[in-house]
A = this chain, B = another copy of it.
Amino acid sequence: MDDVWDLYREDLKRVENQIRADLKSDVPLIDTISTYLFTSGGKRFRPLLLILTSQLAGYRGDVQTELASVIELIHTATLLHDDVIDEANIRRGNKTARMLWGNQASILVGDYLYTRAQCKIVSLRNHEINEAVAEATRRMTRGELSQLAYNGDVQITEEDYLEIIGNKTAALIAAACRIGAILGECPDNNKEGIESYGWNVGIAFQLADDTLDYVADTAKLGKSIGKDLQEGKITLPLLCLLQRCSQDEVHKIGKIIGLSDFTPENLDFILKLMHHYGVIEYSFDMARGYVEKAKKSLMLFKDSMSLQALFAVADYVVDREL
């Protein structure tokens, strides 16, 4: 994966410059917050996928830089709103915008980034791209709303959970890939293959994220572990645990989920059970299953540098350390 970042460093630098240009504003609050957001990390995973898929699809123009910027603006807009909703204090090891400028500014700058992105997209006058982005963003908010509705609800099924992460995470990643395919003007079945790659990578990405929330090294994760549990978010490891453990244990877990005075002992109790029932392995295995699906979706394409890079990215989403 390091090779991929190296090979596409120049492309990603162009995206970075494009983001900066897109965010220029004469409202100081917009400038201050967006500069903070876009200089405090973020791997530019979605822009990379858009660039790689556009290459795979045979596109040789330069609009991919603008669209990659737009996708990152949308992604960042959702992070701003998510942090307000989750009352998050830390992201990527830094204070969240809401801790520095308050919830009000975070909500509005989120709205601003999204509408700014929308202006850029429609100015490119490509109906197919407009539709891909609009549908992805609708799904994202739908996923976030379902997640909120299921908060703390131990009745949630694996199917519900997969639908939520499909909407909230995979939809935008799939759209980034679809846009690459649209730029390349490839036939419909190739377009679908590329979009399906993005969807499956997106699911794998979120499955890994949700699992790392229980096992990652706090320093590397950039936030403390067990956050999802504390917020009442029931993700795959916990879901699997609830299925595998005894009735008595289910009862105890139910009492812990979303506790306002959640303690390290509560987390420890859950982590020990997770270890005992092998749910971390189960979750990573499922994530790896989606990685394989993602790779299979690209079967139609012959070997190339961008294909190899897309394979490497797919592996990376599960085997990254954070």
- Using a CB–CB distance below 8 Å, which chain A residues touch chain B? 25, 27-30, 81, 84-85, 103-105, 107-109, 111-112, 114-116, 118-119, 121-123, 125, 127, 130-131, 134-135, 137-138, 140-142, 144-146, 148-149
Contact = CB atoms under 8 A, between A and B. Distances in A.
Given A116-B138, A127-B122, A131-B123, A148 B84 contact: no
Contact of A142 (B27, B131, B146): B27
| Dominant secondary structure of chain A at its interface with chain B | helix
Q: How many copies does the complex hold?
A: 2
Contacts of A121: 134
The winner among A27, A81, A122, A144 for most chain B CB atoms within 10 A is: A122
Nearest to A146: B27
A114 B137 CA distance: 9
Contacts of A105: 145, 148
Q: Which of A25, A81, A141 has the most CB of B within 10 A?
A: A141
A85 B101 CA distance: 13
Given A84-B103, A112-B141, A118-B137, 11 more contacts: A27-B149, A81-B111, A103-B103, A104-B148, A108-B141, A108-B144, A108-B148, A112-B142, A115-B137, A122-B127, A123-B131
A214 to B, nearest CB: 23
B145 A30 contact: yes
Contacts of A84: 103-104, 107
A134 to B, nearest CB: 4
A107 B146 CA distance: 13
A119 to B, nearest CB: 4
A28 B138 contact: no
